[in-house]
A and B are shown apart, each in its own frame.
Chain A
Amino acid sequence: MEIDWTALMYPRGFTKDPAFLLPLGTPPPVFELLHYLSIIYDNILNSKKQKMSHQSFSNNTNSLNTTLNLPNATITNSLTLTDDRNNLLRWLSPLDPKLKHHGIQARRVENVGEWLLQTEEFESWDAGSGGSESNNAVLFCYGDPGVGKTYIR
């Protein structure tokens, strides 16, 4: 039986070449590729009437990879893995404190407060890391919270 690959591969308004939708020379974003691949995959699974061999499927994904300039077949798997890990991380918490850190880091005056790193308290706290000593596992620094206005206007 003849399979109509064009209908399967270019469904729902996709043009024949997805790269055509993007400015010249821009690699397609990963999520678009993933979306594209998943639509094709669903289409193939859904078309139960058409019995296709595994071989013809992989031939066609290979040709798709070539059109999109992708490294070969395994890409689908690694995309799924990264996606799973990202979902898991988002499940752990929706918050992303590293972003806030980058903002504060950018505003900080170079070297201000470095004396703290040389204090005995900091050094002994730092040196105990990874060991089994539980003494002073916590270092509490107290002072001005630094919200909004500071001492000099």
Chain B
Amino acid sequence: MLTCRDVSSLVIDELCDQAGGRNATVACFYFDFTAQEEQSPTSMLGALLKQLVCGLEETPEEISRAYQGQRNAIGGRGPKLSDIVKMMQTTSSKKCTFICVDAMDECAAGHRVKILDSLNQILERSPGTRIFVTGRQHIRPEIRRCLAGRVASVSISPKRDDIIRYLHSRLREDATPDAMDSSLKADILKKIPEDISEMYVRATILGELPQVIH
């Protein structure tokens, strides 16, 4: 209903809408625990760099040189993590840059440390770069540790308006509208937001939000 994924996509769209006006580039990445193997530090940061390069009119010389250079190796060779970090440091300082990373907790733990550390190195060289991260609460200490002193946090929980908007949209999609009368509709819109808000308060006290409530 209101998930981190929704929030990431909302923020990415908002940043993209404004990007033209302030000459900024937005790069995004969605982690997925079913794709942990292919979402390695190099392919993840490479995918961010790729989007930054797309936002520039010309490919930075440093990157074309690295690309031409590896072609001489037998069968070609992918870029190394340290090279990608260097290329990102220069590319992100050329233009106002936003990086959005969704579901950081779904990244394999060993990869995550390397990725957070690389992001920190990028910020050191390009402090105007903004990084937006979502994930479950349990990785918060790790994020704060790796990106020392640069992190602000916000808790995402659906507000009453979000719940009502969501219910309205589900009611509009109702495949059997005849079974719905106005009093049932009114009850749904009144009861569910109340129950959910209460559920959230309890869940927050317990520390972790429930995954499924039937």
Query: Which of A's residues lie within 8 Å of B, judged by CB?
Result: 85, 87-89, 91-98, 100-101, 104-105, 108-117, 119, 121-122, 124-126, 128-147, 149-153
Query: Which of B's residues lie within 8 Å of A, judged by CB?
Result: 1-15, 22, 24, 28-30, 32-33, 38-39, 42-47, 49-51, 53-54, 59, 63-64, 67, 70, 76, 78-79, 84, 96-98, 103, 105-106, 119, 123, 127-137, 139-140, 143-144, 147, 149-159, 161-162, 165-166, 169, 192, 196, 199, 209-214
Decide if A129 touches B150 in the complex (CB within 8 Å). Answer: no
Q: A83 to B67, alpha carbons, bound, how many Å?
A: 14
Decide if A143 touches B155 in the complex (CB within 8 Å). Answer: yes
Q: A88 to B10, alpha carbons, bound, how many Å?
A: 30
Decide if A112 touches B140 in the complex (CB within 8 Å). Answer: no
B47 contact set on A, CB distance < 8 A: 92-93, 95-97
Decide if A136 touches B12 in the complex (CB within 8 Å). Answer: no
How many cross-chain pairs have Cβ atoms below 8 Å apart between A and B? 247
Nearest B-chain residue to A115, judged by Cβ: B159
Known: A116-B7, A128-B128, A138-B131. A88 touches B67 (CB 8 A): yes
Could you list 12 examples of A-B contacts with CB < 8 Å? Answer: A85-B59, A91-B76, A104-B8, A113-B158, A116-B7, A133-B128, A134-B150, A137-B130, A141-B154, A142-B140, A143-B136, A152-B192
Nearest A-chain residue to B210, judged by Cβ: A151
